[in-house]
Amino acid sequence: MKGEQQNREIVFAERPSGTPTLDTFSMRDIGMPQPQVGEVLLKSLYISVDPGMRGFMDKGKDDGAGIRFELDKPITSRSVAQVMESRNDDLPKGTIVHGRLAWQEYQTSKPDGLEQVDPSLAPIATSVSILGVTGLAAYFGMINIGQPQKGETVVISGAAGAVGSVAAQIAKMKGCHVVGIAGSQTKIAYLEQELGLDKGVNYKAAGDLEEAIRKACPNGVDVFFDNVGGELFDAVFANINWKARIVICGQIAGYNSPDPQQGPRPQQKLIKKSARMEGFLVFDHRDRFEAAKKQLAEWYNSGDLKYRENLVEGFEKLPTAFIGLFKGENIGKQMVKVADAQ
């Protein structure tokens, strides 16, 4: 039966200079792999596309996560898959797993790096989104580094995206005045009306962004959770308060830029404001993932944490879904559905 089934993969075809295009990727038919002793045959169900993957496409640049895509080899990202055939007693047929997998419809894998998904916790796709790196980055970045206190003002950039929308809601649950920055009126309506943020600022329509942030934050900015960087960072940074905490989660505005970006140097203001700026990688907090996932699942299941997926269907849509992240096409977590679980 397997021999009759179609299998496809998407490989890293061309190193992008600037923003990735469809030429960055190439899709091709491949054979159906056979699991060896100890391995499983996996069918991809949901595949996550993440802005951070852009860094894995650059040559020799240290991305901190140690991943580098190789030309003519499959792209990899966080995925949910189902065991279709098993030669490993720990992962019987039918088991749902998640892990960093190749962009292939079917692939074989050893159990290392695969985690079983508990479908009773939440829908299985959440294991690579709100209960995966997305939710965990928002959780540890906001709670451990931002440390928002009741009554403080918190600003989040990329607020209508996957990480930003979770980080913003956590700050709201902590009793803060929460301002989200995003790139369209539809996203601002989502932030204010659906997520209950106090104010949304459309950075593409604001004109003087520094002034727009000042108006939205009459008491100044105590916590800035930054997913974007660039000039948007500068505009919020100009408004920080004494003892502000600046959480550097992502810098998507610079991911496609070949040269390091330079803005106002922050050191003097950090001194004058006794402020703290701290970057982080979600995996720094690996030892506390389970407790955080439990909390995120509780918030999600109680409805306290709203979550939207920007789901597109079809394996072949992976490249456009990834490129769309840099055009602001997504509200919430960008995911590609490849197949239903059986």
Residues of the shown chain interacting with ligand NAP in the complex, contacts defined by CB under 6 A = 50-52, 133-134, 137, 158, 160-164, 182-184, 187, 227-228, 232, 249-253, 280-282, 325-326, 328, 330, 334
Cα distances (angstroms) measured from residue 336 to each of 124, 314, 330: 13, 7, 12
**In sequence order, which residues have a C-beta less than 8 Å from that of residue 217 and are 6 or more positions away?**
153, 155, 177, 179, 239
* CA separation for the pair 200, 198 (Å, rounded): 7
Q: How far is the CB of 249 from ligand NAP (least distance, A)?
A: 5
Q: CB-wise, 91 or 331, nearer to ligand NAP?
A: 331
Q: How far is the CB of 333 from ligand NAP (least distance, A)?
A: 6
Q: How far is the CB of 77 from ligand NAP (least distance, A)?
A: 11
Q: How far is the CB of 171 from ligand NAP (least distance, A)?
A: 15
Q: What angle do CA 234, 235, 239 make, to 5 degrees?
A: 105
Q: CB-wise, 148 or 250, nearer to ligand NAP?
A: 250
Q: CB-wise, 38 or 279, nearer to ligand NAP?
A: 279
Helix and strand element counts for the chain (H, E): 8, 15
* CA separation for the pair 75, 105 (Å, rounded): 12
Pair 302, 69: CB distance under 8 Å: no
Q: How far is the CB of 30 from ligand NAP (least distance, A)?
A: 28
* CA separation for the pair 132, 110 (Å, rounded): 21
List the one residue out of 124, 131, 133 whose CA is nearest residue 45.
Answer: 124
List the one residue out of 19, 21, 24, 2 whose CA is nearest residue 10.
Answer: 24
Q: CB-wise, 116 or 184, nearer to ligand NAP?
A: 184
Q: How far is the CB of 138 from ligand NAP (least distance, A)?
A: 8
What 8-state DSSP symbol labels residue 90? T
Q: CB-wise, 41 or 292, nearer to ligand NAP?
A: 292
List the one residue out of 254, 244, 291 whose CA is nearest residue 140.
Answer: 291
List the one residue out of 189, 279, 176, 192 whose CA is nearest residue 227.
Answer: 279
Q: How far is the CB of 87 from ligand NAP (least distance, A)?
A: 34
Q: CB-wise, 28 or 61, nearer to ligand NAP?
A: 61
Q: CB-wise, 157 or 239, nearer to ligand NAP?
A: 157
